Amino acid sequence: MENQRLGRLVLVIYPLQGHATPVLQLGDVLHSKGFAITIAHTRFNPPNPSNHPHFSFLLLPDNLPYSDTSQTPSVDDFEAINRDCHAPLQELLELKEQRVDCQVVGIIFDSLMYFAATVADHIKIPRLVFMTSNAAFYQAFAAIPRLMAEGFFPFQDSMLHEIVPQQYPLRFKDLPVLRENMDMMQKLIDLASNFQKFSAIILNTVDFLEQSSLLQLQQQYQVPVFQVGPLSKLAPAISTSFLKEDSNCIAWLDNQTANSVLYVSKGSLSMSDSKELTETFWGLANSGQSFLWVVRPGSVSGSEWTEVLPKDFKEIIGERGLIVKWAPQKEVLTHSAVGGFWSHCGWNSTMESLSEGVPMICSPQFFDQKVIARYITHEWKVGLELDGELERGGIERCIRTLMVGKNGAEMRERATELKQMTSVSIHEGGSSYNSLIELTEFLLANNI
Ligand code: UDP
């Protein structure tokens, strides 16, 4: 019975894949701890209720200027969403309170849905911010105002490869700076400066990976920080994909030998052009390695899907390669045939890869991905950097190094160690296990 639960938590999701997935997973985990869960979401990219029959859902009228649901709100739309969803959420929650269903004991919101904090204040319940990237990124981002004040911005191209003072291992080129959109950058800096006003911070990370960044975040914001990752391992394996997953690739993987396949995916937002797609294709084809490649429809400018590839591309790659539109990624990464992941280094993909012991090729495109890629290659040492303009020869060499080279074998060994350490952290006595208990206690104790 829902009204016998510890209380209701309202989780407010932002309608991007990499944002919605970990919040839905957190909802599943907190439901298993005894809370009733309500997911507040926009019209765009709504979660699929049939995948979460134990949740209730609140639809927020976002008023975004999109005419059909195949368009995805951009990150920049967050201001409009925050303006338009505030009153509806407040009204819906006040109505819910009157129905004496199960008392709302807290709001957990994606950091881009900050309007929810004011709603929580209004109904006098704790407001917890969920940060969808990793601790090192937020810590680097928090350092940017200081770096600006110290005169490092705008930095010259000649400084790109220098280490940023007090930010090892980050170079200037790895800093999460939107150089082409400083307006947006300023808005995000203002947003981050509010984090200390929230009741607590929740991150999908693991203590042993980011101990020093987590400590610095705690010192900076002076609120409890709960690290409850990897959520992909703690939550049940329920699909949270907005796009239809092509499960046929699992049968294809079943026919491949252990560690022989490179999985290639650049996430839900990244874009490329026809040259990059063609170079990637030839790099994969010439590498001689097997590969499972996700090409998201609409992700190549000017094309619907893979039209720019050679007409006989299927004959060229034969049985050795498979291209799909969207994969059941978590299942793919657990498959024993997968021996490497060429990724854009989104935080969810990274956590999914690290917790399955899969070493990576890192091609970050922007913002937090650059910080994450640097940590993968230089802190955790489980990946190779493939940066800059993609070209078939460089791709081929990088793939061979990861899949069959000595360096790659060492990274695979190290990734296996991280997988084991991650597994320890989510079991009884482990850091994420304990942090989840502390989060539950916090939610119950801070019921104001
Ligand atoms: N994903 C998936 N199938 C794919 C590609 C990606 O299920 O073919 C999932 C992946 O497992 C991850 C999310 O989409 O949970 C992408 O989030 P991430 O933070 O890695 O990157 P973003 O899409 O936000 O750039």
pLDDT in the model for residue 387: 87
The C-alpha angle 381, 338, 353, rounded to 5 degrees, equals 45
pLDDT in the model for residue 292: 98
Task: Indicate if ligand 1 lies below 6 Å from the C-beta of 174.
Answer: no
How many A from CA of 16 to the centre of ligand 1? 10
Instruction: Name the H helices within 99-203.
Output: 115-122, 135-149, 182-192
How many A from CA of 354 to the centre of ligand 1? 14
How far, in Å, CA of 111 to CA of 196, rounded? 12
Using CB atoms within 10 A of its CB, is residue 423 exposed (0-12), middle (13-18) or buried (19+)? middle
Q: Which of 421, 373, 384, 416 is nearest to 169 (CA)?
A: 373
Task: Indicate if ligand 1 lies below 6 Å from the C-beta of 327.
Answer: yes
Task: Indicate if ligand 1 lies below 6 Å from the C-beta of 289.
Answer: no
Pocket test for ligand 1, best of 74, 268, 305 (most atoms within 8 A of CB): 268
ipTM score assigned to the predicted complex = 1.00
Averaged pLDDT, groups of 10, the chain, 448 residues long: 78 95 98 96 92 94 65 71 91 71 89 94 94 96 91 88 96 88 82 86 98 95 96 94 95 98 96 96 98 96 94 94 98 98 98 98 95 98 95 98 98 98 98 98 80
* 211 DSSP assignment: H
Task: Indicate if ligand 1 lies below 6 Å from the C-beta of 347.
Answer: yes
Nearest CA to ligand 1 atom 11: 329
How far, in Å, CA of 361 to CA of 385, rounded? 6
Contact indicator for 70, 243 with CB cutoff of 8 Å: no
The C-alpha angle 227, 230, 231, rounded to 5 degrees, equals 95
Q: Which of 76, 35, 417 is nearest to 269 (CA)?
A: 76
Task: Indicate if ligand 1 lies below 6 Å from the C-beta of 7.
Answer: no
- State the closest ligand 1 atom to the C-alpha of 294, by its place in the atom list counted from 1: 8
- State the closest ligand 1 atom to the C-alpha of 245, by its place in the atom list counted from 1: 3
Query: 56 to each of 31, 90, 231, 392, 404, how far by Cα in Å?
Result: 11, 16, 20, 48, 48
How many A from CA of 256 to the centre of ligand 1? 23
- State the closest ligand 1 atom to the C-alpha of 369, by its place in the atom list counted from 1: 25
Nearest CA to ligand 1 atom 18: 346
- State the closest ligand 1 atom to the C-alpha of 21, by its place in the atom list counted from 1: 15
Tokens describing residue 250: 């699992």
Task: Indicate if ligand 1 lies below 6 Å from the C-beta of 330.
Answer: yes
Tokens describing residue 263: 């999985």
pLDDT in the model for residue 69: 47
Nearest CA to ligand 1 atom 2: 329
What is the per-residue burial (b if ≥16 Cβ within 10 Å, else e) of 311-336?
A: eebeeebeebbbbbbbbbbbbbbbbe
Task: Indicate if ligand 1 lies below 6 Å from the C-beta of 326.
Answer: yes
How many A from CA of 268 to the centre of ligand 1? 6
pLDDT in the model for residue 359: 98
pLDDT in the model for residue 2: 59
CA dihedral (361, 286, 408, 306) in degrees, to 10, reads 30
